Amino acid sequence: MNEQDNVGIVDIETLRKLDLIPPLNRMRRGSVAVVECVEEIPCDVCVAACPVHAITKEDINSIPRVDFDKCTGCGSCLLACPGLAIFLVDLSTNNGKGRVTIPYELLPIPIKGERVTLLDRRGEPIGEGKVVKVIKSADKTYAVTIEIEEDKIMEVRFFRVIKNENSLSL
Ligand code: SF4
Ligand code: SF4
């Protein structure tokens, strides 16, 4: 039994078995979506949100799959997903650093340049990263891109703002 069965955490092994992790050479080319939605639920918001039709589902209940070669890493699916289950990963800098983009709906809203505590899939701290971009959707969801160590690209899935006087508390 994996962690998904036990506590609702989508572990890397599950993603690997389902073939949902983009190949390393695709991550090296630039931002690409990782759709970590492994429950069979009647939702296709991400399919409709993708402007290049890179996400497909066999039927409304099946798990979504990304065509990593079609995906442009635009982030539209990430901002639209009601389950906050979509991330962007990017290893194109080739300098030991990577960028992960995480959907975020908490306060305070981080700002570019700010340091944050990186959290893994279980919510455990695994270091610090730097916010490099913040984009807001039409509703309350933000897409926060954080620079991290390359080897943590599939580990970091949450973060905590290290509070300072510049953080926005809208
Ligand atoms: S990041 Fe953009 S191109 Fe890639 S799957 Fe999501 S919506 Fe489609
Ligand atoms: S929009 Fe989100 S919750 Fe709905 S199918 Fe896509 S990934 Fe899953």
Q: How far is the CA of 54 from the centre of ligand 2 (A)?
A: 14
pLDDT at 137: 87
Q: Which among 87, 166, 101 has a CA at the least distance from the CA of 129? A: 101
Q: How many CA atoms lie within 13 A of 120 on its CB side?
A: 11
Q: Quote the CA–CA distance of 76 and 51 in Å, as a whole number.
A: 8
Find out whether the beta carbon of 148 lies less than 6 Å from any atom of ligand 2: no
- Segment 102-124 shows an average pLDDT of 95
Find out whether the beta carbon of 73 lies less than 6 Å from any atom of ligand 1: yes
pTM score: 0.93
Pocket of ligand 1, candidates 72, 88, 100, 102: which has the most ligand atoms within 8 Å of its Cβ, to mutate?
72
- Segment 80-109 shows an average pLDDT of 96
pLDDT for 107 beyond 80: yes
Q: How far apart are the first and last CA of the chain?
A: 41
Find out whether the beta carbon of 56 lies less than 6 Å from any atom of ligand 1: no
pLDDT band at 166 (very low <50, low <70, confident <90, very high): low
pLDDT band at 1 (very low <50, low <70, confident <90, very high): very low
pLDDT for 165 beyond 90: no
What's the Cα-to-Cα distance from 134 to each of 33, 69, 102, 127, 165, rounded to whole Å?
17, 25, 10, 20, 18
Find out whether the beta carbon of 35 lies less than 6 Å from any atom of ligand 2: yes
Find out whether the beta carbon of 81 lies less than 6 Å from any atom of ligand 2: yes
Q: Quote the CA–CA distance of 41 and 123 in Å, as a whole number.
A: 24
